[in-house]
Structure 1
Amino acid sequence: MPISFENLAGYAGLNKIWEALPEARLVGGCVRDLLIGRDVNDIDLASPYTPEDNIKKLQEKGIKTIPTGLDHGTITAVIDRRPYEITTLRRDVETDGRHAVVAWTDNWQEDAQRRDFTMNALSLDQQGILYDYFGGEADLKKGRVRFVGEATKRIEEDALRSLRFFRFQARYGQGEADQDACKAIKQNHALVRNLSIERVASELLKILEGPEVGSIIALMQQTEILSEILPHPDPENLKRLLACQDPPKALPRLFALNPDPSIGRHLKLSRMQQCALKAYANNEPILLPGGSDDELRRLKVAQELSLLIDRSWLWQAKELGKPSKEWSHFRQRLSLLPQPEFLLTGRDGMELGLPPGPNLGIWLKKTQNWWLEQGCRPDKEACLAWLKEQVSSDS
Structure 2
Amino acid sequence: MSVAGSLEVGLIEESFNARYSLWITEALDELPDNFTITDPCLSGHPIVFASRGFLKMTGYSRDEVIGKNGRGFQGPMTNRRSIMEIREAIREERPVQVSLLNYRKSGSPFWILFHMSPVFGKDDGKVIHFVAVQVPISGQRHHRSGFGEDWSDRCETAFGSCRREVSSGSLVRSGRSLQLEWDEKAELENWEHCEASECEKLRAVAAINNVLSVLTHYSELTGRLVCGNRCCSPRTGFLSSSLIISLCRVKQSFVLTDSRLPDMPIVYASDAFLRLTGYMRHEVLGRNCRFLSGADTDSLVLYEIKESIQNERSCTVQILNYRKDESPFWNLLHISPIRNASGKTAYFVGVQMEISCEKVEAKGLRPETRQLSVVAAVRVAVRGSSMAASLP
Shorter-chain-normalised TM-score: which range? Answer: under 0.3
Query: Between Structure 1 and Structure 2, whose CA radius of gyration is higher?
Result: 1
* TM-score, normalised relative to structure 2: 0.26
Which protein has the bigger strand share? Answer: 2
Which protein has the bigger helix share? Answer: 1
Q: Larger relative contact order (C-alpha < 8 A, sep ≥ 6)? A: 2
* TM-score, normalised relative to structure 1: 0.26
